[in-house]
Structure 1
Amino acid sequence: MADASQPRLARAYEAPAIARLIDAAYQLYRDQNIALPDVSGGVIDAIEDGQVWVMDDLTGVLMLSTNPPTAHLMNLAVASQARGRGVGGVLIRFALQQAQDAGCENIALATHVDMPGNVALYTHLGWQETERDETRVKMVRPLP
């Protein structure tokens, strides 16, 4: 039996629920009048490409591309009822391990410039800012 505390690959039939989870997780930022792009678009395609992992109870989702030399953390969302319970940390550690196992040398991400908490979190976790424009902060983290 799979460990329920570890992410598993998402299944196609879960795409609508995953999109709702992502949209709900980002609603906090929309409520602050932060203009976000479509954060849940492409979920079904990413699932079909094997790029989406979920917690078994659908409290968290990770979208990750691993094409060496660089992995891309495309999206990470945690359900509001699971915030503060370590779900995000599990997903980030899993992403780092997946990227390393795939032979990637680093892992990149982009977050919104109006989400300084995200920039601070990823900086704390070893990512470094590489580029910034009007809406995005691009960051990269080397892998061991």
Structure 2
Amino acid sequence: MPGFEIQRAVPEQGAALCGLLEAAYQPYRDRGVALPDVTNGLADEIAAGRVWVAMAPTGLFGLLNLSLSLPAAHLINVAVSPVAKGQGVGGALIRFAVRLATDAGCETLDLATHADLCENIALYTHLGWETTDTGVSRVRMTKRLTTL
């Protein structure tokens, strides 16, 4: 992958990752979308080995939080630093999550996103996710995986 590589997060990156998450979600908040605290529990997720980072020579470009639990995996969060937006980081992290889930033998990859994040819903739909449930503020989606 040009410009960055994906590697497991380490605890020392926690503060920087919290900053990345806040910066990545700020444009949605600026639009008036009421989001939960996206940094809550991040240190525990890193310690559990469920967080990966897109690391560039200039710093952290993105974050993936993924839970692998057969028969399904759950895409908890994908966030891209504003400085890396439009450079393919988000797509690379999503493809990485699909590969990890497939390699682990998961049948599906599930996610939930905020109903007001229309661009995220459109992206996941384009990448093969199907909407499985909609609520007032949450949309749940699933991607069926092909295992070898």
Q: Same fold (TM over 0.5)?
A: yes
Q: Which bracket does the TM-score occupy, shorter chain normalised?
A: over 0.9
**Equivalent residue runs for 1:96-135 within 5 Å:** 96-135=98-137
Distance 1:19 1:59 in 2: 12
The Cα RMSD (Å) is 1.1
Distance 2:51 2:31 in 1: 27
Structure 2 residue matching 1:8: 3-state secondary structure: strand
The corresponding residue for 1:141 is 143
Distance 1:133 1:123 in 2: 17
Normalised to the residue count of structure 1, the TM-score between the two structures is 0.95
Report deviation, 1:5. Answer: 3.2
Distance 2:23 2:95 in 1: 23
Structure 2 residue matching 1:50: 3-state secondary structure: coil
Higher normalized strand content (fraction of residues): 2
Match of 1:38, as an amino acid? D
Normalised to the residue count of structure 2, the TM-score between the two structures is 0.93
The corresponding residue for 1:52 is 51
Match of 1:142, as an amino acid? R
5+ long unaligned stretches in structure 1: none
Match of 1:108, as an amino acid? D
What does the per-residue CA deviation read over 1:40-92, in whole Å, with 9 as the maximum and x for residues that have no partner? Answer: 11111000110000012311000000001110000000001111111111101
Distance 1:26 1:56 in 2: 19
- Cα contact 1:8–1:55 (8 A) shared by 2: yes
Structure 2 residue matching 1:114: 3-state secondary structure: coil
Match of 2:91, as an amino acid? G
Match of 1:29, as an amino acid? Y
Distance 2:10 2:117 in 1: 30
Residue identity over aligned pairs, in percent, reads: 49
Distance 1:49 1:11 in 2: 10
- Cα contact 1:6–1:90 (8 A) shared by 2: no
**Equivalent residue runs for 1:1-144 within 5 Å:** 5-57=4-56, 58-144=60-146
Distance 2:126 2:54 in 1: 24
Distance 2:22 2:141 in 1: 23
Report deviation, 1:4. Answer: 6.6
Structure 1's consecutive aligned runs of 4 or more residues displaced over 6 angstroms after TM superposition are: none
Match of 1:101, as an amino acid? D
Distance 1:56 1:24 in 2: 16
